[in-house]
Amino acid sequence: MNNYGHYHSPEEKKKQLNRLARAIGHLKHVQLMIENDEDCADVLIQLSAVNAALRNLGKNIINEHMTHCISHAIEDGDTQAVEEFQKAVQKFI
């Protein structure tokens, strides 16, 4: 699919995985809330936190990908990689 090199700094990757783990933790909490018939308003607040965490993770991934992978693809003249990324961003937003 992509011909350009993929490099992710270990620090950023760790931050992204930590964000994802927190979102998963929130989502598991939502599951328990629903199983325990907790207040719907509280469930919605927790779902909002999950959505925000995932949106922020996505923004972080977009930023890092643009900074590293896409900038290298542009330097290499890889317009396909840029077009694929644009499509992925459109689906995300």
10-92: CATH number: 1.20.58.1000
pLDDT of residue 27: 94
Which of 34-43, 49-58, 63-72 comes out lowest in average pLDDT? 63-72
The CA distance from 29 to 34, in Å, is 9
pLDDT at 4 over 70: no
The pTM of this model reads: 0.77
- The domain locations on the chain are 10-92
The CA distance from 32 to 46, in Å, is 11
Per cent of the chain over pLDDT 90 is 60
